Structure 1
Amino acid sequence: MSALPPPGFWAVLIGIDHYDKYKPLRGCVSDIENIERLLHDTVDSTRLQVYKITAAVANEPHPPTYKNIMDTFQEVKRKAAPGDFFYLHYSGHGGRQQRKEDPQYPQHHAAGGEMYESLVLHGDKHLKDYELGQCLDGLADAGVKTFAVLDCCHSGGADRVADDTIRGLDHVIPPDEDDNDVLPHYPEEESDATTQEPSRDGSAKASYWTRARKYTLLAACQPHEYARECEDQNGERHGALTYTMLRSIAKLSVSGVIPTYKTLYWDIAANIFSVSSTQHPMLFGERDIHLFGSTSHQSTRLAVVNRIDGDRRLYISRGEAHGVRVGEEYAVHPRGAFDLSQIIAKIRINSVGMTRASAKIPPMARVEQGCPVSLVTPVITDLLRVKVQSPELLQELQQRTGSTIQFNAYDSRDATHQVLFQDQSHQIVDATGTPLSNCPLFPANGEAATKIYTFLQKFAHYRMVAQLHNEKSHLNASFVFQERDGIDDVFHEESINLVFKNLKPPPPIGSLRDVLYFSVLNLRDNWEVALVIPDPDDTDDSIAVGPGETSDQYDMEMTIRTPQQSELDDIFMTKTARTKARVDVIVISVGIH
């Protein structure tokens, strides 16, 4: 019986330096040539099929028009088989394009929804965000593993700066002349929040540009930022994302271990600052898949070193909102490592911000940006003290270390909660003996200790987040978040539309000073803390809003676990923190039990 042929590898590479109507770029075609070289060096030639569509000068024989690109997508879809791999790389202008209103769904046309985000092509028709999403969805649905890289301004963020290193237009593109369609409606997107187990929660819909779920998408920058070009030591121009990605792949591949998309992303994010200091790439969709492959590896890392100062101070990508405390000890591992057993240094946190923390690098330790870190010794500032009635269960729970929970004997007076034993079950109650709402009974069997410990860990994290409070309230005058339509009461399965505004005055042209970073956490009635905005599948834990700007609209569908409840009365509160590099705003949606 003959062996099955190896899976195919399909690549569509698009690079546009020359534009008839828009400002030219200089590094896009070189990006594509370098990516093509990487693929030929990496992928078996019997598997590889590359479609290269570039425009270095005018009158290219096969120009990057809408028709040529869509025909190429369709050809790949016809030929690709389940199990094959598809790679898209686009280097060129990104822009905002006016769109026509759909009378059936007028809500899509309100408050920041008047624009498509488009890849700017040759001719009179451009590739809109939802059209690209449909192409990638179609391949993923057919069983083709898919990875897309967009090295462009992904929401027209360059409309205030005239700079030939920026891959974005300085104006809004009018609707396509032959465009008679309107933005499609995705009913499945609106039902995402109710297809899961019912809970007292909110869920935010992703934009069409970043709604990757069955594939992986790497974008060059955040919406308010600029995707820039940079020069190498020979004076050749490249896209900052593509240049850094190629360098990261080369560095991580030295060890012989193929990186995952998450590993690659963290390394890019930590090192792109050397060529574009104000650019923060974003990763969406499946993140634990190996680069250019189909196998996965679940990462156990806690954080990554994303900055090193000249005084040998490093910064990690976690802070107070993640439970990091001053005095905690972390192990630093080699850049790109999967196995965290190898330790190159140990650090002790001495400064904590909202979403960032820092420590001094020990003498002689060789730590790089992109190195993963893991917690060694935690600092517990607010223990959850629990007394346990069953001696056998107490003994099992006390064997578990490294937690934020202290288990005491039942005669202890120093406890805020109890685990009672009756009718062959364990029950968690507060100090008054009142059972916790939405907390199950735990049958007294071999799994009881594990299940109780897991639940109490979740409950302890809930308490920690709920106790966050404003320490720098003067920053509250710098921002507002609000329901766009002024809705006060929200009923079961209704939606609210949140927007975030940065009230600081616009900075000088080209500066990204005074950017605010917003996150929305939902404290749910099942004692979970969920990141709602940005999308939990994103790699970033906040959305960035520049000074004088308003965020995109975030549509949150609300559901109620308890059938008797008919109205939501959530309380929104905020916590702000200022660090040397940024100001973070945590918005917490607190469910009423």
Structure 2
Amino acid sequence: MTKRAVIVGINDYSQQPATKYFMWPNLGGCLADASSLDGLLRGAFGFDSTVLLTDSQASGEAIMAAVGEMLTASGAGDVATFCYAGHGGRLPSNPDDYNDPANYRFYDCIVPYSGDYITDKDLYRLVSSLEPSTVNFTLIMDCCHSGGLSQISPDGRLRSGDYTSNLIDMCVNLMNTVIPCGVVLPPEATGMDGNVSNVAGDGNGVVCSVDDNKSFVPQSKATVLAACRYDEVDADSVGAEGHGGLTAALLDCINATNQQTSYWELVDALRDDMLNILNLQQTPTLLGQENRMDQVFLAAWDDSM
């Protein structure tokens, strides 16, 4: 059994130009996240191999190549983990055609240092041959996708770009489905369709109601530990070490317990830590593969299900 990880942290967004949908301010805590997650995976979870990509190393092409190589090398009994700390966004299925009938479906994306945004459709192309019943593919996503809803403090940052009025209009009028980046669903999968409703603009972002019954789908090939729900924001530069909200809570919880905690137990501990220790109004969330959440976080699957 081999444990491998690709870890990405991006503070510098100077090479991502503003578009008709987004603008991308620089961040402050993502390099600290990447370094700490690298140490956590190696020290606490016994990872054999980690690839660390930060700022200019983390182009879209480099991220996709590193994740692809990790997954290609992974076989039965292995663990593959992708950690991302940086900006997130959200775009309709066809952002160039407002009237495309497919635009009820929006895709969360992660934003590399340079190059194209990465969505679940891109990740699916890398894992089409992956057998999720034997390989534990987990993504840890310290970002958000709902826009720059409100500042945490006058100097605070959020890990989602500000939505333009064009994108807010598209979300309010078209969106009833959000496909998270990392659940790794086939393009034809419909299990998450209709998972959001009551979409409304809020400042430079959107809020919505979320159907939690559609968080897990049988066709997903991965598990996502997300920093927050679809309509929440992820804090940047939290605490003395300046981490993102999810990384700060994850370090707290792993250091306070042992590593033999299930996915369900961990997300409950993370929610408690964010609310009562870090004073953050965000809700860590599990998404994706439906039948493994009682198993140990970042451990090899104990059987073939």
Structure 1 residue 35: Cα displacement: 1.0
Give the 3 Å change call, closer, same or farther, for CA 106–99 of structure 1 in structure 2.
closer
Give the 3 Å change call, closer, same or farther, for CA 204–54 of structure 1 in structure 2.
closer
Structure 1 residue 97: Cα displacement: 3.1
Query: Could you tell me which amino acid in structure 1 is paired with residue 251 of structure 2?
Result: L
Alignment match, 1:275: 278
Query: Could you tell me which amino acid in structure 2 is paired with residue 148 of structure 1?
Result: L
Structure 1 residue 10: Cα displacement: 0.8
Alignment match, 2:39: 37
Gaps of 5+ in 2: 17-23, 168-178, 180-184, 194-210
Give the 3 Å change call, closer, same or farther, for CA 290–185 of structure 1 in structure 2.
closer
1:123 pairs with one of 107, 111, 114? 114
CA distance in 2, matches of 1:69, 1:172: 27
Alignment match, 2:65: 71
Give the 3 Å change call, closer, same or farther, for CA 224–170 of structure 1 in structure 2.
same
CA distance in 1, matches of 2:264, 2:212: 22
2:253 pairs with one of 248, 259, 263? 248
Alignment match, 2:30: 28
Is contact 2:228-2:284 (8 Å) kept? yes
Give the 3 Å change call, closer, same or farther, for CA 101–164 of structure 1 in structure 2.
closer
CA distance in 2, matches of 1:40, 1:137: 28
Alignment match, 1:94: 88
Alignment match, 2:224: 217
Give the 3 Å change call, closer, same or farther, for CA 124–250 of structure 1 in structure 2.
same
Structure 1 residue 216: Cα displacement: 1.9
Structure 1 residue 159: Cα displacement: 4.7
Please state whether the residue corresponding to 2:148 is helix, strand or coil.
coil
Alignment match, 2:161: 169
Give the 3 Å change call, closer, same or farther, for CA 13–190 of structure 1 in structure 2.
closer
Is contact 1:25-1:164 (8 Å) kept? no
Structure 1 residue 140: Cα displacement: 4.3
Matches within 5 A, 1:57-456: 60=56, 63-97=57-91, 99-100=93-94, 106-110=100-104, 113=105, 115-135=106-126, 138-141=129-132, 143-153=134-144, 155-159=145-149, 161=151, 164-172=156-164, 186-189=187-190, 206=214, 213-232=220-239, 235-253=240-258, 258-273=260-275, 274-284=277-287, 285=289, 286-295=292-301
Query: Could you tell me which amino acid in structure 1 is paired with residue 110 of structure 2?
Result: L
Matches within 5 A, 1:558-573: none
Alignment match, 2:198: none
Structure 1 residue 135: Cα displacement: 4.0
Query: Could you tell me which amino acid in structure 1 is paired with residue 299 of structure 2?
Result: G
CA distance in 2, matches of 1:204, 1:102: 30
Is contact 1:167-1:228 (8 Å) kept? yes
Is contact 2:252-2:273 (8 Å) kept? no
Is contact 1:133-1:212 (8 Å) kept? no
Deviations 1:298-332 (A, max 9, x none): xxxxxxxxxxxxxxxxxxxxxxxxxxxxxxxxxxx
Structure 1 residue 43: Cα displacement: 4.3
Give the 3 Å change call, closer, same or farther, for CA 134–158 of structure 1 in structure 2.
farther
- Higher helix fraction (1 or 2): 2
CA distance in 2, matches of 1:191, 1:217: 14
Structure 1 residue 185: Cα displacement: 7.2
Structure 1 residue 42: Cα displacement: 2.7
Structure 1 residue 124: Cα displacement: 3.3
Percent of pairs with identical residues: 23
Give the 3 Å change call, closer, same or farther, for CA 117–173 of structure 1 in structure 2.
farther
Is contact 2:189-2:219 (8 Å) kept? no
Instruction: Give the count of matched residue pairs.
Output: 255
CA distance in 2, matches of 1:8, 1:18: 32
Is contact 2:2-2:79 (8 Å) kept? yes
CA distance in 1, matches of 2:117, 2:166: 10
Alignment match, 1:52: 52
CA distance in 1, matches of 2:156, 2:8: 19
CA distance in 2, matches of 1:29, 1:207: 29
Give the 3 Å change call, closer, same or farther, for CA 293–91 of structure 1 in structure 2.
same
CA distance in 2, matches of 1:204, 1:29: 32
CA distance in 1, matches of 2:192, 2:120: 21
Structure 1 residue 130: Cα displacement: 2.8
Structure 1 residue 118: Cα displacement: 0.8
Gaps of 5+ in 1: 1-6, 176-182, 193-202, 298-593
CA distance in 2, matches of 1:126, 1:174: 18
Query: Could you tell me which amino acid in structure 2 is paired with residue 149 of structure 1?
Result: I
Query: TM-score under structure 1 normalisation?
Result: 0.39
Query: RMSD between aligned alpha carbons?
Result: 3.6
Alignment match, 1:452: none
Is contact 2:138-2:222 (8 Å) kept? yes
| Relative contact order, higher structure (CA 8 A, sep 6+) | 2
Query: TM-score under structure 2 normalisation?
Result: 0.71
Deviations 1:69-116 (A, max 9, x none): 11112211222222110111110001123552799x943214xx3x43
Moved over 6 A (4+): none
